[in-house]
């Protein structure tokens, strides 16, 4: 045989071997090790992260060909979070089908209330027997303590949220842990739950709301701070737009907000009547002493308070107080306000 024929045969054999190897990579069965019979996909994992875990547990040989199959089947967004029971032998095609259709999982509900701050959420998780308070605050930071959050986790989440931005702040997640009822896996990690809250915040704050902040030339983070104060100060939704107008007017006039809620936040209290000594505390959260917004939100506001912060009413009120019964009394002048205090707060 000529040299050309030998070369041709060699090329054909190499091609057959290559095709066979690719076919095994794509269609071949996997012998599932005993320790990998139960496979877990955590909430929020990407196809790349899932593929890396499959490689680590020796369930697939090639991440490239596995992802090619996922793409060909149109299953990029179809993987389910939960636990999966894998058989002894399974093809990659069957594995993809199983991981996108047959999750077994136990769930529970948690309810984060509007206005709760980091301390409140930490106590809530501990009372449920889920996590210790310190576990939560080690991840999200402590109010007033700069650099106390887990920087690596924060950096990871900034890549998944349009509104959570890298910055140096005490408790950088405050304001972004959206209050809502969540269904979570019973074995969800704390990071999974925090991630779910932040992503939920990102989806609830619509493009229209973000565009409105830009139209008003307001930094959205400052809007969020204002919303957290409104949430803490006013329980009645119909009064919030008026209080928003009062607070924005005070800032524009260079007058202190004089919000008990901001000072209570940093001292960890809930008193509706602060002492003279407390009113002298030198803190950026003391809105009696400093005539500007506090440096961070003072809790996690719901969408109603966020909308109130963005859409204040147009009034000539400059003062308000809340009665022990929860009614909000508005005044135009300091004289009217003092009369209201004598009437409702004696």
Is the model's pLDDT at 335 over the cut of 70?
A: yes
Q: Confidence class of residue 209 from pLDDT cuts 50, 70 and 90?
A: very high
Q: Is the pLDDT of residue 175 over 90?
A: yes
Report the SS3 class of residue 147: coil
Mean of per-residue pLDDT scores for the chain = 83
pLDDT at 21 over 70: no
The per-residue b/e assignment along 43-62, b for 16 or more CB within 10 angstroms, e otherwise, is bebebeebbebbeeeebbbb
Domains in the chain and their CATH numbers? Answer: 25-99 (3.30.1490.480), 107-204 (no CATH), 207-344 (no CATH)
Question: DSSP states of 4-37 as a string?
Answer: HHHHHHHHHHHHHHHHHHHHHHHH-EEE--GGGS
Residue 330 half-sphere exposure toward CB, CA atoms < 13 A: 17
pLDDT at 220: 93
DSSP state letters, 118-166: HHHHHHHHHHTTS--HHHHHHHH--TT-BT-S-HHHHHHHHTT-SS---
* pLDDT at residue 23 is higher than 60: no
SS3 content of the chain, % helix, strand, coil (to 5): 50, 10, 40
Tokens standing for residue 270: 């809930």
Question: End-to-end CA distance of the chain, in Å?
Answer: 112
Q: Is residue 31 pLDDT above 90, yes or no?
A: no
Average pLDDT over residues 205-232: 95
Q: Percentage of the chain with pLDDT > 70? A: 86
In this predicted structure, what is the pLDDT of residue 122? 95
**CB of 20 closer than 8 Å to CB of 32:** no
Whole-angstrom distance, CA of residue 194 vs CA of residue 177: 7
Mean pLDDT confidence for 286-306: 94
Residue bearing tokens 């399974």:
90
Look at residue 332 and tell me whether its pLDDT is greater than 90.
yes
107 in Cβ contact with 183 (< 8 Å): yes
Mean pLDDT on 61-82: 80
**Residue 153 or 298, more confident:** 298
Average pLDDT over residues 77-101: 80
- 263 neighbors 286 (Cβ within 8 angstroms): yes
Beta partners for 71? none
DSSP conformational letter for 104: B
The predicted structure's pLDDT at residue 327:
87
Distance CA 332, CA 317 (A): 4
- Hunting for tokens 């030339």 — which residue is that? 217
Which residues share a beta bridge with 281?
none
pLDDT at 227: 98
Query: Could you tell me the sign of the dihedral formed by the alpha carbons of 312, 314, 320, 323, in that order?
Result: negative
In this prediction, residues 329-341 reach a mean pLDDT of 91
Average pLDDT over residues 60-75: 81
Instruction: For residues 161-179, give the mean pLDDT.
Output: 78
Judge whether residue 272 has pLDDT over 70.
no
Tokens of 288: 């009696």
Q: Is a pLDDT exceeding 60 seen at residue 27?
A: no
pLDDT of residue 224: 95
Sole residue written with tokens 């408790």: 171
pLDDT at 126 over 70: yes
Chain CA centroid to CA 19, Å: 46
Dist CA 306 CA 312 (whole Å): 10
């Amino acid at each position: 045989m000529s040299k050309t024929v030998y070369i041709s045969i060699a090329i054909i054999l190499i091609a057959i071997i290559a095709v066979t190897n690719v076919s095994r990579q794509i269609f071949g069965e996997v012998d599932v090790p005993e320790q990998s019979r139960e496979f877990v996909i955590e909430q929020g994992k990407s196809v790349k992260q899932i593929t890396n875990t499959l490689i680590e547990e020796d369930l697939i040989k090639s991440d490239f060909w596995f992802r090619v199959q996922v793409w060909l089947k149109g299953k990029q967004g179809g993987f389910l979070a939960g636990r999966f029971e894998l058989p002894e032998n399974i093809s990659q095609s069957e594995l993809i089908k199983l991981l996108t259709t047959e999750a077994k999982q136990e769930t529970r509900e948690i309810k984060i209330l509007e206005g709760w701050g980091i301390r409140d959420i930490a106590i809530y998780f501990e009372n449920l027997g889920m996590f210790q308070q310190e576990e939560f605050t080690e991840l999200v930071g402590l109010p007033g303590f700069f650099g106390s959050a887990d920087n690596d986790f924060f950096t990871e989440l900034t890549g998944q949220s349009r509104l959570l931005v890298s910055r140096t702040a005490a408790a950088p997640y405050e304001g972004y842990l959206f209050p809502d009822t969540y269904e979570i896996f019973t074995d969800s990690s704390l990071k999974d739950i925090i991630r779910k809250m932040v992503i939920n915040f990102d989806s609830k704050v619509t493009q229209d709301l973000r565009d409105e902040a830009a139209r008003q030339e307001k930094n959205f983070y400052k809007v969020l701070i204002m919303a957290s104060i409104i949430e803490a100060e006013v329980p009645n939704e119909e009064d919030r737009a008026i209080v928003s107008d009062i607070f924005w007017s005070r800032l524009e006039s260079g007058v202190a907000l004089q919000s008990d809620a901001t000072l209570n936040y940093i001292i960890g209290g809930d008193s509706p009547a602060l002492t003279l000594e407390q009113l002298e505390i030198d803190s950026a959260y003391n809105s009696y002493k400093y005539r500007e917004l506090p440096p961070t939100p003072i809790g996690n506001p719901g969408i109603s308070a966020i909308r109130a912060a963005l859409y204040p009413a147009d009034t000539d009120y400059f003062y308000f107080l809340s009665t022990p019964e929860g009614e909000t009394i508005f005044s135009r002048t300091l004289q009217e306000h003092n009369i209201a205090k004598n009437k409702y707060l004696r």
